[in-house]
Structure 1
Amino acid sequence: MTFQDLSEAAPYPGRLPRDPIMRPTPLVILTALGIVALAGCGDEDDPRLRLATGGPEGTYFALGQDLAEFVARDVEDLRVEVLRSAGSIDNMERLAAGEADLAFVQSDTLGADGVRLIAPVYEEVLHVFIRSEIRDEVRKLSDLRGRSICVGAKDSGTANVVARLLDHLGLDDASTPRRHLSWSYAVAALAADECDAACALVASPFPAGRELLESQHAVLLSLGDFAEAGGELDGICAANPNLSRTMIPVAAYGPAPTAPVGTVAVWALLVARRGVDDESVKAVTRVLFDNQAELAERQPVLARLTDPRTLPTLRFPLHDGAAAYYHRDEPVFFVRYADAISLGLTIILLIGSSFITARAWLARRKKNRIDVYYLETDHISEGAETADREGLEDRLTRLHELRRKAFRELVKERLLADESFTIFQDFLQSEYEAIRERLGEK
């Protein structure tokens, strides 16, 4: 069997093709039914969070197993079930389908609206290894045109990032064949000269990378000069804003590399579905950070576990349960914002007091205006006892106009429709009737 046959038979370890000859026997069926029945007798109220990780040889899977162990140890009535997967894209799809509650994903992976951040776990660096024999011909990523590239397992974060970089450089699948192989198969393909490059998006340094470099079958390919402003790395990151420029330093893998290797990086994130219980997510977050030192002894990448508030550019909003953990030491709302609340109440009281004062002033002003109408009525009526017919008619006309003017002012709210206005109307009417009576006597 050639390596080509082997790679097609098993895309990554742990996922083998189904044997078409195998058929379920009655004994197998009865056994399965018995297991299901026994499982149904268990505690249905036992909270269990399903954590999508990665392949059994990857960092995500190892992290998931350690996290599940510590949650079982430290949190009563909460368990984490570790699920194997193809990687970041597969994990995001499982979250969207409700097949997982928690997942490890890379920060550049597109996700559904319901995905929420728990914690940035560590930074993953893109490693591009090329066969040593072609190191003089291939000095940059675009030089791989026409050559075979192992881009990572299908639906993995590595495959996702590498595909976008190749597309950005115009290296389509037709001109530059892409092979979806997990790391162990990609290394074997390099050794067998069946591919020219192998990619891995992982924490740096990683032991398998050192083994490959020490075998002298491969060398690291730089994506650009890290020190050069406006160079290839900046162009790649400008086209892919969720990637950040970084480098693999000299001697990161023992004797290799001998010069800094420019490349790109993403954050490995622990995320959850929005609907996952806040208290459960808070408990998982607490286990991660409270046991960081102990967990980092098993998985050194956890030494880089980070508070997401220090990385404001991450694309996923924070889960409410995780936020409750990060803000646990902050005072409650009214204590935290006591000064602001006090200032706000003072301003409200001042505004209210000013409003009352202004309203009272307007009321006094309107009352003063009605007093003017009283005086005008009295002035018009003055001398009516000795006036001739023409003088009396003139007074009636002026009183009538004064009444109309008062009502216009009332409609425009320049006068108050209160008892003072009623008294004014009665006073004006009495004067009007008195003058009409004298006019009748004439």
Structure 2
Amino acid sequence: MNLSLKQRFSRSMEDGSDLVGPRAPPSPRSVKRKMMLITLAGTLALMGAVAGTYYFAMRPVILRIAVGPPNSDDVKVVQTLTQAFAHNHIRLRPTQTEGATASAAALGESKADLAIIRGDLDVPKNAQAVATLRKNVAVLWVPPAAKGKKAGPKITKIQQLAGRRIGVVGRTQANVNLLKVILRQYGVDPSKIEIVQFPASEAAEAIRNQRADAYLAAGPVNSKITTDAINASTRDGAAPTFLAIDAAAAISQNYPAYEASEIPAGAFGGSPARPDDEVKTIGFSHHIVARKGLPETTVSTFTRQLFAVRQTLLSEFPLAAKIETPDTDKDAVIPVHPGAAAYVDGEEKTFLDRYSDYIWFSLMGLSVLGSVGAWFASYLKKDERGNNSSLRERLLDMLAVARHSDSIDELDQMQTEADNILRETLHCFEHGAIDEGALTAFNIALEQFHNAVADRKALLASMPQNLQRAGVQLRATGA
């Protein structure tokens, strides 16, 4: 009879007795365990989400870039970039076009993510600047008259081109448009002149055959195509005459895509130097542009990679790849892409910068979820703790009654009730409603009750039967 509560519980589990009664419904402790499992699952899910986000954020991104015409320096530059970016986060997939106009159209139709375009062409509405690939100048010159051929009035000014034939180097319509802009600025009606275009590969031969009175070429200063064309214009040691575009500033006011520029003396080599003095002209740029909907982080990463390999491009393509940062002014001809602006301004965001808020809010959400779960579990155990407390008080009351009982049957009934209280207490402990301290206090009360019952039964057993019956009768009559 003097068994501890834990011993009784262990014995009941070993012999399969029904001390703990039938299986109870889900308890607060099981609910708590479920909440802990849910919290753990949520934490693992958060870690998986962070890992997944990092993977998707850091996985290679392939951008389609439109560039043309075939075999041009621009195509070669893009091919070099493609090789340089082969193992980087941003990678390129070149799409060759017929020229800058076709590249701009591909970007405007969202068939490309990036494009290399001329700044003096119609820029798609969804194009935003990423970098300036190179700056170009317009070169307008008149070859010297061939010996033995009757020469007309010498051309020294652009106004004197009226009624003449002008050869344009390159098949692109953009160069013809450039010539017309220059002519109109000087009051020359483009319809009053004859314009002949030559492919770049045929320009030198056409100039040697005197197919035009003057020529226009557009490209980087010291462009090989322009230099070869000017060298073909030299006859018997006589250098061509370069026509200055003095109204370059006025042209740039009317056409923002153009800017005043100059051709340095000796830019095209030769002896004497060609030109022999600085020549004023107009210039325009080739730009790398991005589609407006392209993510800011993608463009900023591409811009960073682009300028990281700039020195490589300059060493391989010194005339065609003088990359510069884009114009970030609000009134720029081509608005800058926010991603490129972030790189230029040093505000490029890291992975943690982009996703720290989401991670922090997720952690806060898990913390709140854990707190709510703990409160809910505690709330569910409140009634069970209160019920167990009343059962313990009942046990103490029975302890007092047992010490004065005169009936074996009454003691047995209280013993049965104590067993029921034991069962409920073990349920409470198993479900987490009471802790070790409460279980120890209950164990002390239970042992005192069993000792009182055992002592009282021993006392009643030693008494004569007539005295036991008399005591019962006295208790029954209330004496």
Taking structure 1 as the reference length, what is the TM-score of the superposition? Answer: 0.56
**Residue of structure 2 equivalent to 1:58:** 72
Moved more, 247-256 or 176-185: 176-185
The letter of the residue matching 2:79 is Q
The letter of the residue matching 1:209 is T
> Cα offset for 1:58?
3.1
The letter of the residue matching 1:182 is P
Q: 2:92 aligned to 65, 79, 82, which one?
A: 79
Residues 321-332 of structure 1 correspond to what in structure 2 (within 5 A)? 321-329=339-347
* 2: CA distance, partners of 1:57 / 1:200: 18
* 1: CA distance, partners of 2:70 / 2:348: 40
Matched-pair contact (CA < 8 Å) for 2:143–2:241: no
Q: Provide the identity percentage.
A: 23
Residues 16-165 of structure 1 correspond to what in structure 2 (within 5 A)? 48-75=62-89, 78-87=91-100, 89-133=101-145, 137-165=154-182
Q: 2:300 aligned to 282, 285, 298, which one?
A: 282
Relative CO higher for 1 or 2, CA cutoff 8 Å, sep ≥ 6? 2
**Residue of structure 1 equivalent to 2:242:** 221
* 2: CA distance, partners of 1:73 / 1:196: 52
The DSSP-based 3-state class of the residue aligned with 1:180 is strand
The letter of the residue matching 1:238 is Q
* 2: CA distance, partners of 1:135 / 1:260: 26
The letter of the residue matching 2:77 is L
Structure 1 residue ranges without an equivalent (≥5): 1-44, 226-231, 336-442
Matched-pair contact (CA < 8 Å) for 2:114–2:288: yes
**Residue of structure 2 equivalent to 1:291:** 309
* 1: CA distance, partners of 2:251 / 2:347: 40
Q: How many residues align?
A: 281
The letter of the residue matching 1:201 is A
The DSSP-based 3-state class of the residue aligned with 1:288 is helix
**Residue of structure 2 equivalent to 1:242:** 257
Q: 2:277 aligned to 252, 255, 259, which one?
A: 259
**Residue of structure 1 equivalent to 2:395:** none
Matched-pair contact (CA < 8 Å) for 1:190–1:197: no
Cα-to-partner distance string for 1:66-94 (whole Å, 9 max, x where unaligned)? 22222224336x3321413233x332222
Matched-pair contact (CA < 8 Å) for 2:164–2:194: yes
Relative to structure 1, is the Cα distance of residues 206 and 311 closer, same or farther in structure 2, using a 3 angstrom cutoff?
Answer: farther
Tell me which structure has the larger Cα radius of gyration.
2
> Cα offset for 1:175?
1.5
The letter of the residue matching 2:242 is L
Matched-pair contact (CA < 8 Å) for 1:71–1:284: no
The DSSP-based 3-state class of the residue aligned with 2:312 is helix
Residues 409-420 of structure 1 correspond to what in structure 2 (within 5 A)? none
Q: 1:318 aligned to 333, 336, 345, which one?
A: 336
Cα-to-partner distance string for 1:413-432 (whole Å, 9 max, x where unaligned)? xxxxxxxxxxxxxxxxxxxx
> Cα offset for 1:179?
2.5
Relative to structure 1, is the Cα distance of residues 307 and 86 closer, same or farther in structure 2, using a 3 angstrom cutoff?
Answer: closer
Matched-pair contact (CA < 8 Å) for 2:328–2:336: no
**Residue of structure 2 equivalent to 1:180:** 197
The DSSP-based 3-state class of the residue aligned with 1:200 is strand
Matched-pair contact (CA < 8 Å) for 2:133–2:285: yes
Cα-to-partner distance string for 1:275-296 (whole Å, 9 max, x where unaligned)? 2343442332122101111221
